[in-house]
Structure 1
Amino acid sequence: MTTVRTATIKDLDALTNLLDGYRQFYKQPGDVGAARDFLRQRLGLGDSYILVSENGEGALTGFVQLYPGVSTVGLNARWTLNDLFVLPECRDKGTGRALMEAATQLAHEHGVARLILMTQVENERAQHLYESLGWQRNTAFYGYLLDVK
């Protein structure tokens, strides 16, 4: 059985390994130290919401991270669902769905008008999950990136 809850500093070690796995999924080099520092900063500043899933034995199996933001046009809050990761051995067991539903519920509880996310074009597994949960592909705007550093 999968349960989802808010991450705490006590989750730092296990969450670090999940974040490192997530980054490697996106072809980044493994760097546990940097992942740990990043998470310690997020948890310390409270500038994101991190939800974790755990199995019946209490081991972390995935996470979702949301960053609060606002929309000038909409005059409301919009959160970016920036990260979703589930351990490979826990996929196709409802873990990703549970994390996404918990993220939606958290946003609802905070009065957030819209959640937004981006995923790689070839990540069809994630796209299928998002669309099965009612997410709609944005066809009205193009996304652009600018590397400043």
Structure 2
Amino acid sequence: MFTIRKATPEDTPVIFDLIKKLAVYEKMEDEVVTSVEELQENIFVKKFAYVIIGEENGVPAGFALYFYNFSTFVGKPGLYLEDLYVEPEHRGKGYGKTLLIELTKIAKAENCGRMEWSVLNWNQPAIDFYESLHAKPMNEWTVYRLDKKGITDLAG
């Protein structure tokens, strides 16, 4: 049985573990520099992001971490999916789709005008999955990023 629930502060070690596993899958494990304590502060105290956890028979099988952005053209908030991850042994059971559907319900309840996320160009299984749900790639946009050093340098 698969269920989805909102994460609680007690789930922070599980969230951290799933983030590390996602990073390994994405070949980005060296980029995980956060800690359980930092995640707990930023997710559950400052509420910069939100997490839902999918469980199979009470055992975490995946998660989705999201936050809200804002579209000036639409004039409404948008839900931005930062990470969606399902453990390898639980893939192919529809859990990723179920987590995504839950996010669309949240976006609808919050009157979001959009729901967006990024996918690594090499991740064809994810691209195929999202396109099977009629999600459209935004190929005319390029993502830019300032890392911590870039922010510090530019801010002076």
TM-score when scaled to structure 1? Answer: 0.88
- Look up the equivalent residue of 1:5 and give its one-letter code: R
In 1, distance between residues paired with 2:56 and 2:31? Answer: 25
Alignment of 1:31-110 (within 5 A): 34-41=34-41, 42-56=43-57, 58-110=58-110
Higher Rg? 2
**1:50-105 deviation line (CA, Å, top 9, x unaligned):** 1110001x111110011111112221111211101111111111111111111111
1:69 and 1:121 map into 2 onto residues whose CA distance is 23
TM-score by length of 2: 0.85
Q: After TM superposition, give the deviation of residue 30 of structure 1 in Å.
A: 8.3
Q: Identify if the C-alpha distance between structure 1 residues 12 and 144 changes in structure 2 by more than 3 Å, giving closer, same or farther.
A: closer
Structure ranking higher on relative contact order (CA contacts 8 Å, 6+ apart): 1
Unmatched runs of 5 consecutive residues or more in structure 2: 150-156
Specify the SS of the correspondent of 1:74: coil
Contact 1:19 1:35 in 2 (8 A): no
1:4-53 per-residue CA deviation (whole Å, 9 max, x = no partner) reads 1111112222222111111222322386x834133202122222121110
RMSD value, Cα: 1.9
User: In the TM superposition, what are the counterparts of 1:116-131 in structure 2 within 5 Å?
Assistant: 116-131=116-131
The count of aligned residue pairs is 147
Aligned equivalent of 1:144: 144
Over 3 Å counting, the alpha-carbon distance change for 1:45 and 1:122 in structure 2 is same
2:153 corresponds in structure 1 to: none
2:111 corresponds in structure 1 to 111
Is contact 1:20-1:35 (8 Å) kept? no
2:7 maps to a residue whose letter is A
Q: Which amino acid aligns with 1:73?
A: F
CA–CA distance in structure 1, aligned partners of residues 31 and 61 of structure 2: 18
Offset of residue 148 of structure 1: 5.0
Secondary structure at 2:14 match in 1: helix
Q: Please tell me whether the aligned partners of residues 13 and 36 of structure 1 are also in contact (alpha carbons under 8 angstroms).
A: yes
Seq. identity, % = 27
